[in-house]
Structure 1
Amino acid sequence: MSADAPSGSPRATLVAGAAASTTVVVAVTLAGPIPGVVLPDGPLGLWRAAGEGRPAWALLAVAAIAALSLLFVRLYLLARDHVVDVRFVARAAAAWTAPVLLAQPILSLDAYSYVAQGRLLVLGIDPYTTGPIVFGAGPLLDPVAPVWRMTPAPYGPLSLTLLGWSADVTGAQHVPFVLLLRMLAIAAVVVGTVAVARLARPGARPAAVALVAANPVVVLHLIGGVHLDVLVGALAPVVLLAVRRRWWWLAALAAAAAFALKLPGLVLVGYVLWARFRRPERRWAGTAAVLTVTAVVVLGAAATVPDGWGWISTLDTPGRVELLYTVPAAVAGVAYGLTMGGVGFGTLLDGARMLCAAAGAVLMGWLVVRAGRPSLPVHRAGTLVGAALVVLALAAPVIHAWYLAWALTLLAAGAGVVGQRRLIGLSIALCFSALPDPLTRWHHGLLPVTLLLLVATLALTFWWLADARRRPPGERADAGAADLTVSGAA
């Protein structure tokens, strides 16, 4: 396909994306969960897995993920070249999101852990000291991934408060609990998208909105998968907007709330404090005020749950799963090859994790310090803070697609063309990090097919993006002027 193809039919892109999203939902549902997990039937039995042919359904799911990813690239190019406007992008995002609204949690079982942890809190049991295993076999434990059944919650006190409230309101029934959190996730995406539109340069708003609202990570993982990381992503641009307007109390409040939700919020807290300190007017008094607001919010959130600081000791919980596609695992793999197996891989992995954590901390600190300079344009500051959050995700012992939520809004609003290309590539690559079980196991023979499809999707993505960039500016502008009225009225 040539670079001028994206200017062909915006409506076809919208419809095809909705079809791809629907296919992902149906195929993932029929492919079924991992062994040892029993899922609820869902509304009208829509969450039931197929009785047979699950590998085939899994293969269809990954093909649909690839299709949705490429349609996302197509929509981005339409938006970047002003062939479509913000309203059309919003309609496309809504159409792509609609199929996941009543679906089971897509490509993740974390939502079922949320239900169990919320129920623990309602019963007065500390989720920071025990896991869902205390419920024994039954509806609360059976849908939880086996690896997380005995582990405590690694989330901040504000997250637990939210889960406890949701469990109380819904009676810890899976379907209403998931649908309630999904509505909250949609609200967070809307807030983040509006903030991105406010932050982005006027000419870049359609593309920035497409990078957030129509991103397959958002559609499939943050909304479809129902992950609390979406709340951190919604607060990040609020922090940046508040700092730009010097609404320091709001910036401190939003950053502290993000930290009380999940650890990445600490990067936002550091940015707000440093940005305020760099302001010469009432430097010490102003910084002290920001620190006071931050402390009040964090301490208040900790007081809402038993053992409000217990989550600090459980932050290593996600690292109990060894994923081979993380940066620490890659470093350990290289070291293992260089030592020719002389040192155990587990030992090397532990060392690599420590090394990546230390290097990541240094790099994040440097990025946050640069972002806090008063003379720095807001877009550049947002890009630097977003980069720090990406570094945190990459340096962590594990990485999941939904971790991109931490930085997505900031990078979408502030990154230039090259940065946006990298963000698109990272988004698509991470979409393939969570797949139906048959695709992740060698004995099904489908893992090589999955990897091949990922490589092909990324190759086509970067070819499209590079080819479109080489087009003469006048050609892109003419195409945009010709189609803008059609796209806005679609």
Structure 2
Amino acid sequence: MTSQARTEAGPGLGARAAPVLIAGSVLLTITIGLLGPSAMVPGLEGPGWQPPYSLDARPSSHLVIALAALAVVLGGLGLLCGLWRTRALGEGAARALVLGGCLAAAALAFLPPSGSADHLNYAAYGRMVTLGIDPYVSGAADLPGDRVAAAVEAPWREEPSVYGPVATAVQALASWVGGDSVRLTIFVMALVNAAAFIAAGLLLDRLTRDDPALRLRAALLWTANPLLLYQLVAGLHVDTLAIAFMVAALVVSARGQAIPEGAVSRGRLAASGALLGLGVAVKLNVGLVALGPAWELRRRPRRLALVAGVALGVAALGYLWAGTHAFDQVSRAGKAISHASFWKLVQGWLQAVVGEGSAYRGEIQVGAVVVMALLAWALFRLQPPPADAARVAAVLVVAYVFATPYILPWYDGLAFALVAMVAASRVDLFLTAHLTLLSLAYLPARVDGQPADLEWLRTVVRQQVVPWSLLALTAGLAWWAWRAAARARTRPE
């Protein structure tokens, strides 16, 4: 019996287990925040009556890290089960998943962020703007005695901002509202973050509403995705805002392409370009998505010029406000290699064979571009013609997150959002495994407050187990994509 036949025969254990596993993962994520300051949850200075709220239970480090590990494992298994047996979940499941995911995101906005301390950096950058200090040349250490800057944790206290001007503007707005209260500043950013996540989910739901199977899959991949709720919403990462802009740009573009040439179509295309520009002005690397519309419009030069011109204009205005030196930190950060990346293994091999006199970052960057190009080509061969903007963007971003030397769990969010807009494939499962492994590698993604007896989570899991696993997973994705494309090309019409 084929998997198709098994899916249609009945719901099966996987379909019944998926909602339970997903709900359990989300509830554990909520519990971590609800318990309050811990090894997973940085403390927030400010009046206790201000949101976000928690029980301030002061749980042990071992407990909250175990809860986080369980949340990740359950979330990954639940997502795999749901994606494997999507049709068996039933036609009404999409609406329930969208509603549940939106409610979970809203609830998490009222709880202190967990998993990393990046949000404290965001608060400090916003504080700098309100004080007239340039966050692209200053770090929290340059604001001695400031309550908001004092909350930033090692090793990021000296680091200037690597985020775009739109992200900085949101951080400045939050700081203007929150003043010297870290708690209230974070809450304002959490509201914006949750709103962006929910907006992206509703846009994906609207885009796929005419195809029940695609709609259900989009809800699983984004709105009710327990791993994204854990990383993007509970983690309060600025990537969420950039992703929301990019999803909106592609949705508007898709609807604009369906309209004959005219004022309405041009208006939609201009709006799409503006949204692309705003996304790039949040985080520069999401600009990879813009290559999708560029490919789709390559034979329509006027439309391409309109979208590209508006996108470049919006992004340029933002970066002119921030100053061109805003690119300096991005350029420097772009040469880094994260400990969970398989390129860290390659760096170690090069140093062992050639010598330790160099970090070999340039060579690794070249290698990463080659791997990304090969992955993108293998995945592109799988796409049925004509390849639209969403498909091309999804191929490029999936190839990027698998190949880039600097990868963190929340970077996968953009790939999930784009994959949710195209037809189902085994890429869904590879991507879920990729995010699950990365999430386990960063338990948590902060240095302060970590127990010494759990140091093996960093030295063994993050630096050895996960890099080797990601290397195998990347090779598996390339092998599968190449064979699947070859089979598709030889299959009789």
**TM-score, structure 1 normalization:** 0.77
Give the alignment of 1:248-259 within 5 angstroms.
Answer: 248-259=269-280
CA gap of 1:392–1:7, structure 2 versus 1, over 3 A, is: closer
* 8 Å CA contact retained: 2:37, 2:43: no
- What SS class does the counterpart of residue 315 from structure 1 fall into? helix
- Equivalent residue number for residue 232 of structure 2: 222
Q: Name stretches of at least 5 consecutive residues in structure 2 with no aligned partner.
A: 1-5, 258-267, 474-493
- 2:197–2:240 Cα contact (<8 Å) kept: yes
Equivalent residue number for residue 396 of structure 2? 388
Could you tell me how far apart the structure 2 residues matched to 1:371 and 1:14 are?
30
User: Could you tell me how far 1:314 is from its partner in structure 2?
Assistant: 0.9
2:365 pairs, out of 340, 347, 354, with: 354
* SS class of match (1:427): helix
Specify the alignment match of 2:265 in structure 1.
Answer: none
Q: Distance in 1 between matches of 2:437 and 2:114?
A: 17
1:401–1:430 Cα contact (<8 Å) kept: yes
**CA shift for structure 1 position 242:** 3.0
1:119 to 127, 136, 143: 127
- Spell out the pairing of 1:23-42 with structure 2 (5 A cutoff): 23-25=31-33, 29-31=37-39, 39-40=44-45
Letter of the 2:361 counterpart? D
Letter in 1 for 2:80: V
8 Å CA contact retained: 2:364, 2:405: yes
Tell me which of the two structures has the higher relative contact order, counting C-alpha pairs closer than 8 angstroms and 6 or more residues apart.
1
The CA distance in 2 between the partners of 1:72 and 1:138, in whole Å, is 43
1:68 to 75, 93, 97: 75
TM-score (normalizing by structure 2): 0.76
> What is the rounded CA distance, in whole Å, between the counterparts of 1:129 and 1:446 in structure 2?
35
Q: Which residue of 1 aligns with 2:243?
A: 233
Match of 1:404 in 2: 412
Q: Which amino acid aligns with 1:425?
A: A
Distance in 1 separating the partners of 2:420 and 2:299: 26
Q: Within 5 A, what are the aligned runs for 1:175-190?
A: 175-190=183-198
In 1, the alpha carbon distance for the partners of 2:366 and 2:460 equals 33
The answer to whether the Cα contact below 8 Å between 2:204 and 2:420 also exists between their aligned partners in 1 is: yes
Distance of 1:175 and 1:12 partners within structure 2: 33
Equivalent residue of 1:140, what SS?
helix
When residues 7 and 216 of structure 1 are mapped into structure 2, their CA distance, relative to the original with a 3 A threshold, is: closer
Q: Is 2:94–2:219's contact at 8 Å kept on the other side of the alignment?
A: yes
Per-residue CA deviations over 1:195-243 (Å, capped at 9, x if unaligned) read: 3234444322112211101223321121111111112211223232333
Count of equivalent residues: 439
Cα 1:208/1:11, change in 2 over 3 Å:
closer
Cα distance change, pair 137–360 in 1 and its aligned pair in 2 (3 A): farther
Cα distance, 1:357 vs structure 2: 4.9
Counterpart residue number, 1:488:
none
Question: Is contact 1:212-1:409 (8 Å) kept?
Answer: yes
CA–CA distance in structure 1, aligned partners of residues 378 and 299 of structure 2: 15
Identity of aligned residues (%): 20
Instruction: Tell me whether 1:310 sits opposite 2:325 in the alignment.
Output: yes
The reply on whether 1:288 has 2:296 as its aligned counterpart is: no
The answer as to 2:130 corresponding to 1:130 is: no
Q: Residue 465 of structure 1 aligns with which residue? A: none
Q: Which residue of 2 aligns with 1:242?
A: 252
Correspondence list, 1:198-217, <5 A: 198-200=206-208, 201-217=211-227
> What displacement does 1:365 show?
8.7
Contact 1:440 1:446 in 2 (8 A): no
Give the CA deviation at 1:174. Answer: 1.9
Partner of 2:28: 20
Matches of 1:76 and 1:41 in 2, distance apart?
42
Residues 31 and 128 of structure 1, relative CA distance in 2, 3 Å threshold = closer
Q: CA deviation at 1:99?
A: 5.3
Change in Cα spacing, 1:369 to 1:97, as seen in structure 2 (3 Å) is closer
CA offsets 1:139-179 (integer angstroms, 9 cap, x no match)? 22332122221111111112112211221122252222222
Equivalent position of 1:473 in the other structure: none
For 1:105 and 1:125, how far apart are their aligned partners in 2?
26
